[in-house]
Each structure stands twice: as C-alpha cells, then as structure tokens.
C-alpha cells in the first residue's frame, strides 16, 4: 500500500490527465496520445460552447482545433465513436474488445422485430449508396424508440450502428451519415470472435481501462463504471483482486480516506513525480462537463473539496448555477465555475456567469489569468472576442 497525502494524490491525477505543468500533448498526434492513454473520452451532442470531447481536448492538447478530432474520426479513421463509457470516442484499434458490447444489441433492442424485418435491406442500400442518413431511406413507419417514437429508417440505422454493422461515416451538423463497418474499418478488426477467453478477462480489461482513464479509482460503486454491463459488487471485487494480485493495479492509501484507491502499475514513475519536490507550472483551464477527471465526482469532492454537477438536463428552476457550466481548474485546485456561451453569429464568447469558490478572491492577477483562459476558449469556438462583465 503506497501512502499519499491528498496533495500528492491531486498532483498525480492532474499530471496523469495532462492538466498540470507544461502541455505534453500537442496537435493531432497529441489527440491520439491522450485518448490512447485515457481509453476513451465521453461524447455528448450538446454544443453550447463546444461539445464535451472538444472541451476536454482543448484543456490538454496544445494547438487543438475541432477539425483535428473530426479528421481523426471520419477521414483518418484512427478513432471511432461507439459505446465505451456511454457514447464515447476511442482508438479504432480497440474495436475488437467491444465485441460483447455490440453483441448485446443483436436482440436486446426496442422494436426488434420491426427493425430486423428491414435490417438487411437497409444494409444493402447503404452498401450501394456508400453512406446514408435516415432521410435517404424511405421507411416512414413509426416505431417505439429510446428517446421517442421515430421512423423505422432512423431506428434501423441506429440499431445496425449499435450492433456494429454500421459506423458513422461523417456528420453534417447533428445529422449522422452511416456506412458499413467493412467499408470503413480495417478488415482484421471485424472478426466475430470475442477476444476475451472468459467474462472475467473482459471485465478485468474494462476495469483497468477505467482506472487508467481517470488515474485513481476506488473499488466501490461509481459513475466511472457506467456502461460496464453486469458490474455487480461481487464481480468488481473479483476484478480488483485479480488485477491487484497479478500486479496490474497498485493500491494507494490517501490520508483522510477510509478505503484505498488504485492506479495502474505502469503509472508508478508518474506517481513518484507527484511525490517529489518538482514544481509544476500552474495553468488555468476550463474542463468539460464529462471530463475524464470528473468521472467520479465523489472522488473529486473527497480529494479536491469541490462539488460539481452538470445541470444541463436539470430543470431551470432547480439549477444552482446555470445551463452549461464548466469547472475552472487553476494549478492544483478548482477555483470556481463559469458559464460560457458562444454567439457564433456575432463571433463573441459571452461569459454569462462566473462563480468563484468561497476561499478564492478576485484579484487583478486572477482577472488576467481568467481572461487569457476565456480568450483561448473563444478561439477554439471560432469567436473573435470575449464579452465578460469582469468584477
């Protein structure tokens, strides 16, 4: 059991996430390197000031532009968007490891009978056209679907996507165009064989992946395990026991926490850096609402004394802060949260709200640091100016 202070645990997490010190991820290769380290970054289509994965990458990757992620997904095909931690973006090379996830959608899907009736027809049609969206297919029948009733074409395309027969070819705004997986992904990745000899092997792989995606996690119920299917406490205990006894995970005892945390053994050198006397350059960054660092918000509360809830789906009357509020990280602590909104027509990033933590005082230096952070964020979103009523 490796003993850590809370400060050392915080520093390790931030170094692991590429959020402390000089930026070690840069350009398109930096996007690939970070996502390979993280396993995946979570996706959400809401775009108030950039989508969640774009916001996550801008905080870490020097010179990041939204076009880099789009190119890696839909032109280079080095990344793919599918299910990992909910809807996520992960390296295309990892496609075979989610065989079991895709297999669950073969029969366990809404309106299965109606979808299955037209599935082969739609696959054939997409193959002939090269790619298609639901508007390109004439199946107007309404069926029960996950978010609301929808036309059969959309339901079938999404079902075939869920089970891996189709992938996203490209997007035009919020419209998805689908193509056959065999036309977009390397054939050697499309085997029908599950690569894991046993369910426990697959579970251990997923658990280690999530630990690496955050940096430190505990063996307890957590949002960090979302979409790891059938993860009972018994199975989670078995995975942690095996990963620890085989040396893949290191247990860590953090002062003030009643139970151990775990990190990857491959992060041992980074852990030692976090415990050294090295001084790392502090940065001021806006984090994504679904940022990997925030996957376990109870852990963030315990280590950083910072409570964050994404209120985008919370009714307006029940919100404590705002619609799309992002945490502000400065150095090794969270100093508050901001609500940036892009007015793309005017080319202005408007800071509609700023809430500093009680112990943080607004100073001239902090104003300058925040303005530089907001200006970088505006550039990410194609805005030429920042509108902020600075206190």
Tens of pLDDT, residue by residue over 184-227, are 999 999 987 899 999 999 999 999 999 999 999 999 999 999 99
Number of Cβ within 10 Å of residue 97's Cβ equals 19
**Alpha-carbon distance 358 to 251, whole Å?**
33
- For residues 61 and 31, the answer to whether their CB atoms sit within 8 Å is yes
Helix or strand (DSSP H, E) at 126: helix 112-129
Looking up tokens 């619609």 gives 323
- For the chain, the average pLDDT equals 94
Residue in the block written with tokens 């104003």: 367
C-beta atoms surrounding 74 within 10 Å: 19
Alpha carbon distance 345, 297 (integer Å): 35
Cα three-residue angle 382-374-291, rounded to 5 degrees: 90
- Let me know if residue 183 belongs to a domain: no
343: pLDDT strictly greater than 90: yes
- The count of domains in the chain is 1
Question: How far apart are the C-alpha atoms of 387 and 375, rounded to whole Å?
Answer: 10
Asked if residue 235 is part of any domain, the answer here is no
Tell me what pLDDT residue 145 has. 83
Distance CA 386, CA 349 (A): 5
pLDDT for 391 equals 62
User: What is the spatial distance between Cα 342 and Cα 349, in angstroms, rounded to a whole number?
Assistant: 5
In a domain, 315, yes or no: yes
- Give the model's confidence band at 128: pLDDT under 50 very low, under 70 low, under 90 confident, else very high: very high
pLDDT at 143: 87
Tokens 């933590």 identify what position?
A: 357
Task: Give the pLDDT band (50/70/90) at residue 181.
Answer: very high
pLDDT in tens, 92-110: 999 999 999 998 888 778 7
Whether the per-residue pLDDT at 22 is higher than 90: the answer is: yes
Q: Which of 308, 295, 386 is nearest to 348 (CA)?
A: 386
Q: What percent of the chain has pLDDT over 90?
A: 87
What is the pLDDT at residue 313? 87
Mean pLDDT of 37-44: 96
Residue 366: inside a domain: yes
pLDDT of the residue at 84: 96
pLDDT: which is higher, 349 or 150: 349
Residue 87 tokens read as 């809807």
Full residue range of the structural domain in which residue 357 is found: 284-387
Q: How many CB atoms lie within 10 A of CB 356?
A: 16
Tokens matching residue 317: 């009357």
Report pLDDT for 113: 84
Residue 377: is its pLDDT beyond 70? yes
DSSP 8-state symbol, 109 = S
Is residue 195 assigned to a domain?
no
Q: What is the pLDDT of residue 183?
A: 96
Cα separation, 261 vs 290, in Å, equals 21
Q: Is 186 within the bounds of a domain?
A: no
CA distance 312 to 44: 11
Q: Which two tokens stand for residue 77?
A: 């095909």
User: What is the full DSSP assignment across 199-235?
Assistant: HHHHHHHHHHHHHHHHS-EESS--GGGTT-TT--HHH
CATH of the domain at 302: 3.40.630
Does 375 fall in a domain?
yes
Query: What is the rounded distance in angstroms from the CA atom of residue 219 to the CA atom of residue 346?
Result: 48
Cβ-based neighbours of 141, under 8 Å, separated by 6 or more: 114, 151, 152
pLDDT given for residue 147 in this prediction: 78
Cα-to-chain-centroid distance, residue 364: 34
The dihedrals phi and psi of 266, each to the nearest 5 degrees, come to -65, -10
Strand partners, 4: 254
Please determine, for residue 387, whether its predicted confidence score (pLDDT) is greater than 80: yes
Domain membership flag for residue 279: no
Single pTM value for the model? 0.95
Which residues is 353 bridged to in the sheet?
A: 339
Segment 236-289, tens digit of pLDDT: 999 999 999 999 999 999 999 999 999 999 999 999 999 999 999 999 999 999
**Pairwise CA distance, residues 251 & 271, whole Å:** 12
Asked whether residue 390 carries a pLDDT value surpassing 70, the answer given is no
């Amino acid at each position: 059991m490796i003993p850590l202070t809370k400060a050392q645990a915080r520093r390790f997490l931030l170094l692991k996430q590429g959020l402390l010190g000089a930026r070690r991820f840069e350009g398109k290769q930096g996007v690939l390197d970070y996502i390979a380290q993280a396993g995946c970054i979570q996706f959400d289509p809401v775009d108030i000031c950039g989508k969640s994965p774009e916001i996550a990458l801008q905080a870490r990757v020097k010179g990041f532009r939204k076009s880099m992620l789009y190119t890696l997904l839909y032109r280079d095909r080095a990344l793919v968007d599918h299910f990992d931690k909910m809807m996520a973006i992960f390296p295309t090379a990892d496609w075979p490891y989610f065989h079991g996830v895709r297999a669950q959608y073969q029969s366990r899907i809404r309106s299965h009978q109606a979808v299955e009736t037209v599935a082969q027809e739609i696959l054939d049609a997409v193959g002939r056209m090269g790619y298609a969206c639901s508007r390109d297919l004439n199946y107007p029948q309404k069926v029960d679907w996950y978010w609301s009733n929808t036309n059969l074409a959309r339901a079938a395309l999404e079902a075939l996507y869920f089970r891996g027969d189709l992938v996203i070819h490209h997007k035009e705004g919020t419209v998805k165009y689908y193509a056959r997986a065999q036309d977009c992904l390397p054939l050697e990745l499309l085997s029908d064989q599950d690569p894991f000899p046993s369910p426990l092997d697959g579970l251990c792989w997923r658990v280690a992946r999530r630990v690496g995606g955050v940096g430190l996690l505990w063996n307890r119920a957590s949002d960090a395990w979302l979409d790891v299917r059938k993860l009972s406490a018994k199975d989670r205990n078995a995975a942690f026991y095996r990963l620890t006894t085989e040396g893949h995970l290191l247990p860590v005892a953090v002062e003030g926490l009643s139970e151990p945390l775990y990190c990857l053994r491959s992060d041992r050198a980074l852990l030692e850096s976090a415990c050294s006397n090295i001084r790392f350059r502090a940065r001021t960054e806006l984090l994504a609402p679904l940022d990997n660092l925030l996957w376990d918000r109870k852990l963030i509360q315990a280590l950083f004394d910072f409570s964050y809830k994404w209120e985008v789906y919370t009714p307006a009357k029940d919100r404590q802060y705002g619609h799309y509020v992002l945490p502000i990280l400065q150095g090794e602590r969270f100093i508050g949260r901001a609500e940036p909104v892009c007015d793309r027509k005017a080319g202005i990033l408007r800071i509609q709200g700023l809430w500093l933590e009680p112990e943080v005082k607004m100073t001239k230096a902090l104003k300058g640091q925040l303005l530089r952070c907001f200006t970088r964020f505006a550039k990410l979103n194609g805005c030429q100016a920042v509108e902020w009523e600075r206190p």
